[in-house]
């Protein structure tokens, strides 16, 4: 005689009125703690301890914010140092659309973008036949990188000095003064904030 065992699934337990209230209390309580209290406390602490960073690391000129230390800006005037390319849309260095180009190394569009930047650099400084540093012809992964390498700044030094009528050694001193080095060398490479460097150039010109 075959016996068949039929699986029995437990019937769902209806939510009774006695359970609904504590569930709502927990939901509202966690929402207040994680959605309001915790962010508010952390924001207050950060503004008290790191007010500059909490405010967006803004750079001011004559009392007005002209940019952020964390976001690059496009410069095309030859008398300024140029930063990296930016692949953000619909405009370069758009902080609301941070992204790289996602172009592979064999994609012709990547080669065309690099070639166009090389041509622009050569046109701005025809006498400069030095190899163009790679960070001047490529975009960063975020598209917002505000820094260039010391080599990229060195490549542009003669052009900027000539167009501004400044001694090249004075421009090199500004580069050195604006070179940021990591606390530990293995954690990164030296970099130069392009906006800060260009503001320092304008400050000398105003004097």
Cis peptide before 8, with omega less than 30 degrees from 0? no
Q: What is the mean pLDDT of residues 20-45?
A: 91
pLDDT band at 62 (very low <50, low <70, confident <90, very high): confident
The reported pLDDT for the residue numbered 54 is 86
pLDDT at position 139 is 93
pLDDT band of 178, cuts 50, 70, 90: very high
Q: Are 149 and 190 in contact (CB under 8 A)?
A: yes
How confident is the model over 112-127, as pLDDT tens digits? 999 999 999 999 999 9
The pLDDT of residue 2: 53
Buried b (16+ CB within 10 A) or exposed e, 44-70: eeeeeeeeeeeeeeebeeeeeeebbbb
Instruction: Please tell me the pTM assigned to this model.
Output: 0.79
pLDDT at residue 202 in the model? 95
pLDDT of residue 8: 60
Is pLDDT above 80 for 24? yes
d(CA 123, CA 202): 23
Question: How far, in whole angstroms, is CA 59 from its chain's centroid?
Answer: 14
pLDDT at site 16: 56
Helix spans in the chain (H): 17-32, 38-49, 51-54, 108-124, 150-164, 168-177, 194-206
Between 143 and 183, whose confidence is greater? 143
Nearest 5°: the CA angle 84, 88, 93 is: 55
**For 75-105, how does the pLDDT look when each residue is reduced to its tens digit (9 = 90+)?**
999 999 999 999 999 999 999 999 988 888 8
Parse the chain into domains and list their residue ranges. Answer: 16-55, 57-206
pLDDT-based confidence at 15, cuts 50/70/90?
Answer: low
Q: From 160, 107, 155, select the one nearest 131 (Cα to Cα).
A: 155
Kindly tell me if the per-residue pLDDT of 7 is higher than 60: no
């Amino acid at each position: 005689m075959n016996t068949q065992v039929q699986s029995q699934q437990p019937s769902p337990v209806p939510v009774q009125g006695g359970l609904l209230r504590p569930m709502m209390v927990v939901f509202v309580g966690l929402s207040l703690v994680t959605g309001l209290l915790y962010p508010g406390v952390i924001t207050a602490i950060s503004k008290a301890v790191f007010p500059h960073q909490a405010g967006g690391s803004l750079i001011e000129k004559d009392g007005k914010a002209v940019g952020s230390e964390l976001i690059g800006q496009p410069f095309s005037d030859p008398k300024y140092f140029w930063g990296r390319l930016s692949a953000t849309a619909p405009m370069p260095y758009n902080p609301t659309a941070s992204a790289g180009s996602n172009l592979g190394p064999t994609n012709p569009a990547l080669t065309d973008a690099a070639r166009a930047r090389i041509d622009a650099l050569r046109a701005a400084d025809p006498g400069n036949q030095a190899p163009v540093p790679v960070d001047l012809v490529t975009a960063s992964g975020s598209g917002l990188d505000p820094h260039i390498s010391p080599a990229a700044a060195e490549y542009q030094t003669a052009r900027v000095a000539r167009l501004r009528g400044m001694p090249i050694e004075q421009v090199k001193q500004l580069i050195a003064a604006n070179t940021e080095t990591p606390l530990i060398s293995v954690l990164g490479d030296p970099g130069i904030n392009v906006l800060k460097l260009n503001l320092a150039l304008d400050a000398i010109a105003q004097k």
